[in-house]
Structure 1
Amino acid sequence: MAVPKKRTSKSKSKSRKANWKHKAYFESQKALSIAKSLLTGKNSSFIYIEDTDISKQNI
């Protein structure tokens, strides 16, 4: 017969959730920083090629 596993404690599950939210916060900050640097034109930490060819754009 199948036996249920032991329950995870509230502190353990809250700790995991806090860790997940903490990682998500830093990823969102990094994405926002990259977006700001693209808008200002000060992107020196990565390569971004802007395609400005009008014939390739679908209008």
Structure 2
Amino acid sequence: MAVPKKRTSMSKKYIRRNLWIKKGYLLAVKSFSLAKSVSTGQSKSFFVTQKKYCKKFN
């Protein structure tokens, strides 16, 4: 027969929530930093070839 579990305290709930939010924030900062370094051409881990666009007039 199923038995109800004990209630998790509010402080433990907030600790887990803050860890979850912090993990997402750190990933966002890291990915933004990588995108910025790739766009400025200072990335050492990615080799991106820049395409130059030229307009053809008819």
Q: Is the 8 A contact 2:37 2:43 kept in 1?
A: yes
Alignment map for 1:28-47 (pairs within 5 Å): 28-44=28-44, 46-47=45-46
AA matched with 1:41: G
Distance 1:31 1:7 in 2: 37
| Greater RCO, 1 or 2 (C-alpha within 8 Å, sep 6+) | 2
Q: Which runs of 5+ in 2 are unaligned?
A: 52-58
Find the structure with the greater CA-based Rg: 2
- Return the letter of the residue paired with 1:33: S
Aligned to 1:2: 2
SS of 1:27 mapped into structure 2? helix
Unmatched 5+ residue regions in structure 1? Answer: 53-59
**Matches of 2:47 and 2:5, distance apart in 1:** 50
Following TM superposition, the consecutive aligned residue runs of length 4 or more in structure 1 with deviations greater than 2 angstroms are: 47-52
Give the Cα separation in 2 of the matches to 1:37 and 1:51. Answer: 14
Q: What is the distance in 1 between the residues matched to 2:46 and 2:38?
A: 10
Could you tell me whether the CA contact under 8 Å between 2:38 and 2:48 is conserved in 1?
no
What is the TM-score when the length of structure 2 is the normalising length? 0.75
